[in-house]
Amino acid sequence: MKICRINMRNKSITYEEVKSEYMALGGRGLTSKIISEEVDATCHPLGKNNKLVIAPGLLSGSMAPSSGRLSVGSKSPLTGGIKESNAGGTAAQNLAKLGYKAIIIEDKPEKEELNLIKITSEGISMEDASYLKMKGNYETGDILREKFGKKTTVMSVGQAGEMKLSAASIAVTDTEGHPTRHCGRGGTGAVLGSKGIKAIIIDPGKTNEVKYHDKDSFMKASRSFSKMILDHPVSGQGLPTYGTAVLVNILNEAGGLPTDNFRNGRFEFAEDISGETMYELINKRKGNPTHACHPGCIMRCSQIYNDENGEYLTGGFEYETIWAFGSHCHIKNFDSIAKMDRLCDDIGIDTIDTGVAVGIAMEGKYIELGDDKAAIKLVEEVGKGSPIGRIIGNGAAFTGQAFGTERVPVVKKQALPAYDPRSVKGIGVTYATTPMGADHTAGYSVTANILGVGGTVDPLKKEGQVDLSRNLQVATAAIDSTGLCLFVAFAILDNAGALQEIVNMINAEYNTSIEIQDVITLGQEILKEEKEFNRRAGFTKAHDRLPEFFNENLEPHNVAFDITDEELDMTLEF
């Protein structure tokens, strides 16, 4: 295992042994550690002093099920705080096969440049990529896979990353070679763009440096763990069939599907944009509703979504995206939403912050609520770099300021995702307190609040929400370090043996002897490190708050967000 450091000013590429203290870290645990140790928290996120760290998880590249998640860490141009943004696709496994614990990209070119980083079994090299200037991720990926081989993983930025817009993402190609999996949140694409990098290609060829200290034990734990995932109704049935869009009807029923910029918890046209409707549509058009974003994923929540003519349109099309361009904007046309998902993937922008921004442009009366054609045009403008495109592409908080509107659902300037914090109060605690800015994946209380997974905590009452969010945030920080998809959490929460099997796999691969308590401690340590970075960057408790308007009552349950500041401040005190 090694770490590679790429300096974009002097173009040096150096390899380092992994420090002993980094050995037990991977994914988010490693990216947050390196960013915290090496980056001045007060630096400009687009400046030479910021770094971008790419790290596969501890189990990435192994035969553990659904272990292909990638972590990218940086100081965020969107929030100004630390950021770990997590994606599927084929990058993490290929990096792990090549023996990379992390890639650290630092400094920036003197002048504007566009480079390609090549990571293969022959090492890492760099070449000019100016021929890809202002191309979208689809075309970029096609050109690079044509040139370097169809199986090559492409990580790239679209126009948004080149323009260094704060909602710019980093695309990662999926098993079909489509750039549908993204480090979406927090503008890591803008950081990669600021470093003068258009794309990173990864091709391990036949190389596979992933070794197992005790392969038999590993396989035994892996099989047991796989069974637990497949036996769980959410990860074994709901997700493979309907994808995450299965949540549309569930959240609508629960009164937690934010509609018309968080003015209602139910959308009259929820059925039109539901997972069930998507499933029918996909089947009718001969797409694929059940698709793995990386090899070895057994939950296969991704899909291939074809257009009216049966031609491929998009994939990796999530509940949060459907919500952001759907009920948030009062849009019910599934194909319009799918087109915007495709546009976001191509331009390289976070679907959540972009969709919320489009809704804020409606709030500011720039376009009309529910006007899907105008919404599509707005998203297209981001790729063109027009002034309105630059507004939308900088995310929801920025768009709110542009239009002088105060009803802007953001925490730490990052847009709230698809769960209303008043009727799913545990997620509200997570939005407010995670060091990442409003982020459902940082502590997904929807489990116990809505799905009855890992127990039941009444989503409308304040009791138990802080503990729920805290426990999930700790567990998530740890899972984000393993390379396992967060959706393994369903099995973990409902099956006492699942976490032990993860521990068993790690011990079997690395010849360690960690215990479950070490996993908890790891999660806590990661959160402490991230909070400490944010403190140095200038964050205080005043930033751990939801926008004021969440004290308004939400239909249909007539509930406000009533977790007190003092309760929020306790959440991440260990």
Positions touching a copy of itself (CB under 8 A) are 41-44, 46-47, 49, 77, 163-166, 190, 193-194, 386-388, 390-391, 394, 398, 401-406, 535-543, 545, 547-548
CB of residue 365 to a copy of itself, shortest distance in Å? 10
CB-nearer residue toward a copy of itself: 467 or 567: 567
Specify burial of residue 111 (Cβ count, 10 A radius: 0-12, 13-18, 19+). Answer: exposed
State which residue, 388 or 570, has the beta carbon closest to a copy of itself.
388
Tell me whether residue 77 or residue 265 sits nearer to a copy of itself (CB atom). Answer: 77
**Toward a copy of itself, which CB reaches closer, 50 or 93?**
50
Q: CA-to-CA distance for 258 and 281, rounded, in angstroms?
A: 24
Least gap, CB of 466 to a copy of itself (angstroms): 19
Report the residue number, 319 or 539, with the smaller CB distance to a copy of itself: 539
> Phi, psi at residue 230, to the nearest 5°?
-75, -25
Least distance (Å) between residue 161 CB and a copy of itself = 9
Task: For residue 173, give the amino acid letter.
Answer: T
The first and second tokens of residue 482, run together, are: 């393993």
Residue that the structure tokens 């930033």 belong to: 543
CB closer to a copy of itself out of 373 and 535 = 535
Indicate the residue among 16 and 565 with the shorter CB distance to a copy of itself: 565
* Contact between residue 411 and residue 545 where contact means Cβ atoms under 8 Å apart: yes
Nearer to a copy of itself, 399 or 469 (CB): 399
Tally: H helices and E strands in the chain: 23, 17
Shortest Cβ 389–a copy of itself spacing (Å): 8
Helix (H) or strand (E) holding 353: helix 351-363
Q: Which of 498, 490, 411, 415 is CA-nearest to residue 450? A: 490
| Residue whose CB is less far from a copy of itself, 444 or 539 | 539
| Cβ-Cβ contacts under 8 Å for 325 (sequence gap 6 or more) | 331, 336, 337, 340, 341, 351, 355, 358, 375
Q: Which is nearer to a copy of itself, 220 or 536 (CB)?
A: 536
Pairing assessment for the beta strands 82-87 and 197-203 based on DSSP bridges: unpaired
Q: Which long-range contacts (CB under 8 A, 24 or more apart) does 553-556 make?
A: 553/422, 554/255, 554/262, 554/264, 554/265, 554/420, 554/422, 554/423, 555/255, 555/264, 555/265, 555/266, 556/255, 556/264, 556/265, 556/266
For residue 291, the surrounding DSSP H or E stretch is: strand 288-291
Which CB atom, from 548 or from 573, has the smaller least distance to a copy of itself?
A: 548
> In angstroms, what is the minimal distance from the CB of 394 to a copy of itself?
6
Task: Select 309 or 387, whichever has its Cβ closest to a copy of itself.
Answer: 387
CB of 534 to a copy of itself, least distance (A): 10
Residue 162 beta carbon to a copy of itself: minimum distance, rounded to whole angstroms: 9
Amino acid making up residue 310: G
How many residues are present in the chain?
Answer: 574
Q: Diameter of the chain by CA atoms?
A: 62
Nearer to a copy of itself, 237 or 551 (CB): 551
CA 137/CA 159 separation, integer angstroms = 8
Cα 421 from Cα 560, distance rounded (Å): 9
C-alpha–C-alpha distance, residues 323 and 419, integer Å: 9
For 551, what's the count of Cα atoms within 13 Å in the CB-facing half-sphere?
6
Q: Which residues pair with 156 in a beta bridge?
A: 171, 199
CA–CA gap between residue 94 and residue 71 (Å, rounded) = 13
Shortest Cβ distance from residue 384 to a copy of itself (Å)?
12
- Give the DSSP per-residue string, 235-290: IIIIHHHHGGGGHHHHHHHHT-S-BTTTTBS--TTGGGGSHHHHHHHHHHTT-EEE
- The least distance separating a copy of itself from the CB of residue 168, rounded to whole angstroms, comes to 9
- Residue 448 CB, nearest approach to a copy of itself (Å): 29
- Closest approach, Cβ 43 to a copy of itself, in A, equals 6
Taking the complex as a whole, how short is the minimal distance between the CB of residue 135 and a copy of itself, in angstroms? 17
Whether 369 and 360 have beta carbons less than 8 Å apart is answered as no
- In whole angstroms, the minimum distance from the beta carbon of 38 to a copy of itself comes to 16
Least separation in angstroms between CB 116 and a copy of itself = 20
Q: Among residues 391 and 478, whose Cβ is nearest to a copy of itself? A: 391
